Amino acid sequence: MSPRVVNVTPLKNFKLLLTFSNGEERIFDMSPYLETGMFKELTNISVFNSVSPFLGSIRWNNGLDLCPDTLYLESKDHE
């Protein structure tokens, strides 16, 4: 089981700064998801910026969420 998200900050270019329960900070790029289904709604910057931590993962005000394992495994180290 991957660490869980404890904090999320939306960044420019549809990236997210994620802080995980193990103390790691990582960057997750949402760009590849924005052409798929309901994720297209996140191209509206006010919707994208509504992201918040939710039960170890993240969720937007429109109800979209992502698996915490995906967030951890597909994110890159924050330098």
Q: What is the CATH number of the domain that holds 49?
A: 3.30.2020.10
At 13-53, the pLDDT tens digits run 999 999 999 999 999 999 999 999 999 999 999 999 999 99
DSSP single-letter state for residue 41: G
Return d(Cα 72, Cα 4) in angstroms, integer: 8
> Containing domain of residue 28, as a range?
5-77
Under the banding of pLDDT at 50, 70 and 90, the label for residue 2 is confident
Model-level pTM? 0.94
Q: Does the pLDDT of residue 1 top 80, yes or no?
A: no
Domain count, the chain: 1
